[in-house]
A = this chain, B = another copy of it.
């Protein structure tokens, strides 16, 4: 089953597209949220560039967290683990960036990722999508693997003229220029934004601490 599109919509699991000397391949990107203290763990024999693309993805997601309904302090209380099987295959490059963002957003919001979508694109700290290489090989791999929809960088749209028609016919190819479009297409539902006012929250938190200390069930405490 590995190397094929997912069989069901899953939380935190995204299909990326890799490009190596022997062709394109599907990449399963898995994120997990664990109780913790703000650490990021990455595994799967990832090269430095891919690790940095995960760091960029993570910082971008933190910077927009109220927009996806996540209170910023949440990040201090969780660890995020991103793993890319197969563990013995070296992987590198920045083009999994949009997949990393989607995977992290899915796991933070609990909103599943559509099972028959794949994606490729470098992502900047502002969420802009930068072009990638190997478009043809990646689209072929997507088709072969049973993917229905592929998100590609808008700046790669011009390369579509070189893609065989049967590939273009077999796939819905959607050019995107910002991660917000990626999330709109890839998640089964839209995250609910929240209002976040750091100072108001801090005041509320302090009040709550004071209130707990003087717990009414323990009048003389402590």
By a beta-carbon cutoff of 8 Å, the part of chain A in contact with chain B is: 1-2, 10, 12-13, 28, 30-32, 34-35, 41, 43-45, 48-49, 52-53, 55-56, 59-60, 62-63, 72-73, 75-76, 81, 83, 85-88, 93-94, 97, 122, 124-126, 128, 130-131, 155, 177, 198, 206-207, 210-215, 217-222
Contacts and interface: CB of A to CB of B under 8 A. Distances in A.
How many protomers of this protein does the assembly include?
6
Contacts of A177: 1
B207 A214 contact: no
B43 A2 contact: no
Nearest to A85: B124
A133 B31 CA distance: 26
Contact of A35 (B41, B48, B60, B72): B72
Nearest to A60: B32
A59 B33 CA distance: 9
Contacts of A12: 125
Closest 4 CB pairs of A and B: A213-B222, A214-B221, A87-B94, A43-B52
